[in-house]
Structure 1
């Protein structure tokens, strides 16, 4: 190895670089690096050292993160994304990828669309990037930004990162009070941020109010966030030509449906736009993103059709939520903000409930700022007829269930000493030792709703091949017993109080949906005095076993209802419920520690006991 690449012993008395951490570079020996660090040129990262050697950040904020439910989601209505106008297949002609992107053509197209000159437009990495650049360019530790709350949370974050003080006026709906907003402003106010339609409320600001504020604050930048303006009755983008201190930020993420490609822009005076351009990197968006935005602008008619569809859904959803007892704020965006407290719940409860149907909505589980959004949920409009019907059905089931359906084993009754013991003892009869963990594993896997089949499969997995009918006969003999030996069924214990079920029956139709043979299910009802509690029993003989949704659908049909909840302790129960269009509620069987398998199969919640369920406060009257 050449001498100048040889590791050298450090000459200073500073921190020692271990051999495994040495990095070689021509002319830069570890000795040089250590000396440089010691004299303040740099600070080395030494693997395994204590926290005091780590760089200290001045940031006190955490990264942006949306708190989401644990169930799998395939219909995301939590981020206000618009319906896509461009498919991935249309992006194949975006140009050579070895060249830096050129946004000038897109800026010219945007300028033409708004009746501006190209020097009044700057394309950015989403609307967020434009807001961030404005904050970095105009704010510092001696200044402040004034905004309304609740509002777009990234504005306050960007202002704080710039060192500025953030002042806010609480504004939920109705006309914005300009006089009260101006009371918060002073000589150090460098940015006044106005979001219209506002996120997350959907409220709008009148043009006259914006102009009044701009005139009153000539030394401040009036940041007009118009991310949702296409869905509003009035577009305020022309105000940038009326006052030099107004700058508008817009995005292709909402009405144009390009959220995944991160394209936004700012429009305003050449002076402000030039400052915004200088406040960030020269290539904020990729060639692919620029090409997609150019193509989208050519589909303005499709965009307007989507906007009209969203407006129709917005009105219909507001009506549906009102009928379900929830109040919504008047919105001119592609979402509604609903107050869930009138159902006796909070926004996170509704978020979790809809997750059981694979639908994601926005909630704020914690009060992390000056305003409390915990009672609220924000629901984006899907801009699709089928998805919208799915949303309405899910809301109806969650907020106004007509029926509650219960699996029996592990939910209403403890079968750890009966059915589970029958599996273990049957296997032992054939010379195979099966553990409780083995049974739990195969149940968690799914397609395990028949304990005869489960026993037979566990024997086969252990290398013991036995005729299925022999396995079934031994199992049944153990479970039912005979004149001399009590059956294992006598060991079963009720997991819920009888009064709990009787109370539920006063407001809901009740049914049991079980994989038990009918005689076992009927004996269970008689054994625990449940006669008259369940209007119907759906048993093994009535329909294919869960996870097939047929038994759940049959229960709804027999009850004559459409909306319900299903309580179960296995992934099969959760999958059957979701496929049948009812809300899946997981219940941990006695001794069960894990809950991930139930959430993974679609459970909205996982309860320690079915009696811990939190129902909405407005159940439909029992027929």
Structure 2
């Protein structure tokens, strides 16, 4: 009689293998440990929403939960805020989904997308999944590389993404940059990823909407403090919005998320402005501190700052030991060893962050 121990079982794959674009990708991971406690500054999240927003859940009718969601009220509210028609607005499960739909709607093998590098990780992933050619242009400091974009435009260029403020650098494009890109790429769709617009010196949404080939993606995950409900939206030409609707699920945002998002937009009584002002103060203080400690810090216009630093890895470890969680960027990337540090949006938490950075720096220097 044969027993399992008498022979070695070989694990054979069941079913087809994934297509090549998937097979060579690793799934996205936030890298966060379950149940961690402390100052969490590695995901660029915003402030706690007002209590009135959470009370909205108590007023959601059972019928709204039973039926498929209707985003029309939220769509109308967003359209009114931006002074455009509701047909020019599409509400999605975060700005991530909007970018994914745009890539699926417009990119395919034989077409090209131009992105800055480094930039938002998921946008790079979405482009690659379509099989389109990815053209990456360095933007690690200074102004948006408009001239380099122009020099890389070909007859196959179908999309140009302007992530501003950019993630992970915090660098922002200017109005003249956006106008130039839109003008030199009339055959391409220019995507302005404006997730951190509230923190920037200038909101480029109105400028973007003045061009027939530009769309804007926005989110409620950052300054509005609603990352957990996954609501973003796109503003743009009707034909682009129509194509996006065809490129994914019919009901991307739940009824509860729609209700909470609408409540947050309707009940802001200056909290957003106060939060942004606080973050800008923190951003300035952090920049001064980190530069004094030897880090190279670009002028950020987001709710985080980038610190390019030879001691990024030991600093990350020392801060983690103090329950301060910041993002360690891979040293093999275009920035070299670097940390992305979120601004807490709270005076007391900001003081704690700065003191923790000083303590961690002393420890790292002490141990060589």
For normalisation by structure 1, the TM-score amounts to 0.54
Gaps of 5+ in 1: 1-47, 402-614
Q: 1:354 corresponds to which residue?
A: 319
C-alpha contact 1:126 1:263 (8 A) present in aligned 2: yes
> How many residues are aligned here?
352
Is 1:400 the counterpart of 2:362? The answer is: yes
Q: Which consecutive segments of 4 or more residues in structure 1 shift more than 6 A?
A: none
Q: Secondary structure at the match of 2:224?
A: coil
Structure 2 counterpart of 1:221, from 180, 186, 189 = 189
Query: Which of the pair has more CA radius of gyration?
Result: 1
Q: Residues 1-28 of structure 1, C-alpha deviation per residue, up to 9 Å, x if partnerless?
A: xxxxxxxxxxxxxxxxxxxxxxxxxxxx
Deviation at 1:90, TM superposition (A): 4.0
Displacement of 1:50 in angstroms is 4.3
Among 344, 350, 353, the alignment partner of 1:388 is 350
Change (3 A) 1:275 1:617: farther
Pairing 1:51–2:19 present: no
Verify: 1:313 aligned to 2:282, yes or no.
yes
Shift of 1:282: 1.5
Q: Structure 2: any 5+ residue segments left out of the alignment? A: 1-8
Shift of 1:219: 1.3
For residues 160-214 of structure 1, the C-alpha deviation after alignment (integer angstroms, 9 at most, x for no partner) is 1111111111111211231211222211111101100010001111111111111
- Show the counterpart of 1:616: 365
292, 295, 299: which one aligns with 1:330: 299
> How far did 1:70 drift?
10
Distance 2:251 2:161 in 1: 26
1:266 & 1:329 partners in 2: Cα distance?
28
* Aligned 1:273-292 pairs, distance under 5 A: 273-292=241-260
Shift of 1:68: 4.9
Q: SS of the residue aligned with 1:354?
A: helix
2:221 alignment counterpart: 253
Q: Give 1:155's match in structure 2, choosing from 108, 123, 127.
A: 123
Q: Residue 94 of structure 1: CA displacement?
A: 2.7
Q: How well do the aligned residues superpose, as a CA RMSD in angstroms?
A: 2.0
Alignment partner of 1:295 is 2:263:
yes
Cα deviation 1:311-363 (Å, max 9, x = unaligned): 1111111122223332311100000001221xxx2x33222211111111001
Matches of 1:71 and 1:94, distance apart in 2: 29
TM-score normalised over the length of structure 2:
0.91
Kept in 1, the 8 Å contact 2:209–2:215? The answer is no
State whether residues 72 and 355 of structure 1, in contact with CA within 8 Å, keep that contact through their aligned partners in structure 2. no
Measured in 2, the distance between the counterparts of 1:90 and 1:352 equals 40
Asked which structure has the greater RCO (Cα within 8 Å, sep 6+), the reply is 2
Contact kept, 8 Å, 1:251 with 1:264, in 2: the verdict is: yes
The answer to whether 1:82 aligns with 2:50 is no
The 8 Å contact of residues 86 and 292 in structure 1, kept in 2 or not, is answered as no
Matched with 1:379 is: 341
